[in-house]
Structure 1
Amino acid sequence: MDDMRGPSHPGGSARVHPALRALAILICLSVAAVAAFGGYKYYTLRPMYHFQTVPVVNGPPEVPSQASFNVLLVGSDQRPGDAAGHSDSLLLVHVDLRDTRFNVLSIPRDTRVYMDGHGYTKLTSVQYVAQAELGKIPGIERAVAAVEKLTGVNVNYYAVTNYWGLQSLVDAVGGIEMNVPFDVRLTHPWYPEDRGKVIRKGLHTLDGKMVTEVVHERDSLPQGDFSRQKLQEEALKGIARALLRPSGIVHLPEFIQRLPDFLIATNMSNDDILSLALAARSVDLDTQVHYYQVEGESHSLYDDILGQRNDQFVPNLEQLHQVTKAHFATGTE
């Protein structure tokens, strides 16, 4: 149940980072929405007007007192036709409309959590077990509830994707410029010919194949998963810049055509996406998007669902709650 399954691929199989794809898709949706935006909608979809009341995934709608809300991006390993999937990557995005600021918290998939009726397990397993028991959407909502309990803040919207398409998404915008903050040696590449290849620290122009290879790497990085999260951040910036540049508009039709294959589930309406696009249309990726990581330690602990010990990430809850209270609270928790 807790096996890590990547997509079948002619060059081999490997685990990709669907949360990276999730945020890329959200950016794609926003840019596409702006391109199709009609003037008559402007008044009703102005972000400060549209998001006056927002849903709470596991509660009644709320009026955000700080003009902000949270979106949980979930990358699932669910294959087409499967009834359930693991939450393989999770990004909590806080949208602050007043200051036009986006805060992003990367939550490790192996975080130790308590699942009612089952006991202690990894966060990644909550979605799988709940979907197997309750169905697709209730299972996703159960995983969202686990994130809410862990972080102490409400989740207003969610978007779930699977493994497919990071390579094709990057290629659809003609490749990206990506800052690689440290040397990356490919130890478990998708393509055998890339094994052992080193991407040196610095700015690189990369196609979809190489972006996928770089953000998949973990073992050769100075801080393991935390360094991989940094690579995801840099790839996201590269994808966003490629989409927002004038020439990126040429690639939008191909993006739009592919989107339904990647978005498994969301509670965001088309108007929600249009309004979010208006909020993000002039964001400076270097000064208005801020990334946070969860501190903690890994330990071998008993997993009540699997009935055996495995490696679990035990977060520093005091530090986590300080971060979420300061940067992810909507004022209604």
Structure 2
Amino acid sequence: MKKLRIFLSILLAVVVLGGGVAYFAYQKLQPENHFKNVPTVSKTGNNPGSQGTTTPKMKENVFNVLLLGSDERKGQKVGHSDSIILLHVDLNKHKYNMASIPRDTRVYLDGYGYTKLTSVQYIKQATGGTTAGIKAAVNSISQLTGIPVNYYVETNYEGLQSMVDALGAIDVDVPFDVKLTHPWYPENNGKVIAQGTQTLDGEMVTELVHERYSLKNVDYDRQLLQAKVLIGIAKTALQPKNLTKLPNLVDKSSDFVIATNMSKTDIASLGLLVKNLNTDKQVTYYQLNGTSKSMYDDILKNNNSEIVLDQTALKKTMKHFE
């Protein structure tokens, strides 16, 4: 009996200790605790493409995530930045701002000169590999906006499709009819995704964010579609039936992500953030507008159609990302 009591006491101690460790780990994963100290991966500098020599210091529990969507196909090692979204997370105010940056924005690439933003990653990937490509894109965007980038996450069309299919399907608020004229999958050519709330699988979500040629405002309308898809993913992940899938999605994040500086615990903490997110009230979406001009491209050594952002509007919008 005495040995049994000793055994039960030890078992109880293990259970209590294990529960305490689990609780402590869970508490550390809470976004307000986990993101108190975040890295800064962007490099600032005094060059012709920079908004200034310094960037604003981020407050505690406030950080920026750069979301990149590449057109890199399976088996390829290089790709253009097709989707560029800056996400600002303010855990103090529980507010989240998103800004789409046009892929053809004129930016400065260290060591090369001026070119399109979409080309930066491709050029540096071709010469230095995946990491060099994404770091160059991060730095060009930070210098363009004057805003530090703390985390980056890059996916491609196959990764996006896999993510949506892992959730089953997502509901997307499609703001206008979208005719597929440049589909990722040739068999979808000519199909129309109708205006309204549509339940889409991974393949059709991929087609939706890829289309731009048939859209009235071309790339700006595609940016809007990309934002709608991100919100659709968040809303679907919030559904009770899908909350149990989040740990598995985090564990399989490498299936969806090409490159990131976020650890699995970083992603898990963001997952806890999503659980309490009200996309309609807490998320604000911005577009960075500019003028399309024929400008000299230092890489092409010729004129190229590029978007020159309105600097006054850019600085005003970036105030929401400090």
Report TM bin, short chain: 0.7 to 0.9
CA–CA distance in structure 2, aligned partners of residues 202 and 63 of structure 1: 41
Give the partner amino acid of 1:42: Y
1:144 equivalent in alignment to 2:128: no
Deviations 1:267-288 (A, max 9, x none): 1123322333333321101111
Structure 2, unmatched stretches of 5+, are 1-20, 45-55
Give the partner amino acid of 1:50: H
CA–CA distance in structure 2, aligned partners of residues 304 and 141 of structure 1: 20
CA contact (8 A) 1:84 1:131 kept: yes
1:46 equivalent in alignment to 2:1: no
1:202 corresponds in structure 2 to: 196
Q: Aligned in 2, Cα 1:195/1:79: closer, same or farther, shift over 3 Å?
A: closer
Residue pairs, 1:84-123, within 5 angstroms: 84-123=78-117
Structure 1, unmatched stretches of 5+, are 1-36
Residue pairs, 1:177-192, within 5 angstroms: 177-192=171-186
CA–CA distance in structure 1, aligned partners of residues 153 and 185 of structure 2: 29
1:58 equivalent in alignment to 2:42: yes
CA–CA distance in structure 2, aligned partners of residues 273 and 194 of structure 1: 33
Size of the aligned set, in residue pairs, is: 291
CA contact (8 A) 1:112 1:123 kept: yes
Residue pairs, 1:149-168, within 5 angstroms: 149-168=143-162
1:189 aligned counterpart, secondary structure: coil
2:321 corresponds in structure 1 to: 328
CA contact (8 A) 1:54 1:64 kept: no
**Cα distance, 1:196 vs structure 2:** 2.9
Q: Aligned in 2, Cα 1:110/1:149: closer, same or farther, shift over 3 Å?
A: same
Q: Aligned in 2, Cα 1:248/1:88: closer, same or farther, shift over 3 Å?
A: same
CA–CA distance in structure 1, aligned partners of residues 80 and 284 of structure 2: 27
1:217 equivalent in alignment to 2:206: no
Task: Judge which range, 48-57 or 257-266, deviates more.
Answer: 257-266
CA contact (8 A) 1:109 1:124 kept: yes
Give the partner amino acid of 2:42: N
1:4 corresponds in structure 2 to: none
Task: Judge which range, 115-124 or 193-202, deviates more.
Answer: 193-202
2:50 corresponds in structure 1 to: none
Instruction: Point out the structure with the larger helix share.
Output: 2
Deviations 1:141-173 (A, max 9, x none): 222111111001111111122332333432332
Residue pairs, 1:217-236, within 5 angstroms: 217-236=211-230
**Cα distance, 1:320 vs structure 2:** 0.9
1:308 corresponds in structure 2 to: 302
CA–CA distance in structure 2, aligned partners of residues 276 and 249 of structure 1: 13
CA contact (8 A) 1:300 1:309 kept: yes
1:102 aligned counterpart, secondary structure: strand
2:85 aligned counterpart, secondary structure: strand
**Cα distance, 1:182 vs structure 2:** 1.3
Task: Judge which range, 118-127 or 167-176, deviates more.
Answer: 167-176
Instruction: Report the TM-score, using the length of structure 1 for normalisation.
Output: 0.78
CA–CA distance in structure 2, aligned partners of residues 214 and 88 of structure 1: 13
CA contact (8 A) 1:53 1:63 kept: no
Q: Aligned in 2, Cα 1:272/1:165: closer, same or farther, shift over 3 Å?
A: closer
Identity of aligned residues (%): 53
The structure number with the bigger radius of gyration is 2
CA–CA distance in structure 2, aligned partners of residues 200 and 323 of structure 1: 31
CA contact (8 A) 2:83 2:226 kept: no
1:297 corresponds in structure 2 to: 291
CA–CA distance in structure 2, aligned partners of residues 292 and 262 of structure 1: 25
Give the partner amino acid of 1:45: L
2:70 corresponds in structure 1 to: 76
Q: Aligned in 2, Cα 1:219/1:58: closer, same or farther, shift over 3 Å?
A: closer
CA contact (8 A) 1:92 1:106 kept: yes
Instruction: Report the TM-score, using the length of structure 2 for normalisation.
Output: 0.80
Give the partner amino acid of 2:38: V
Q: Aligned in 2, Cα 1:273/1:193: closer, same or farther, shift over 3 Å?
A: closer
**Cα distance, 1:259 vs structure 2:** 3.0
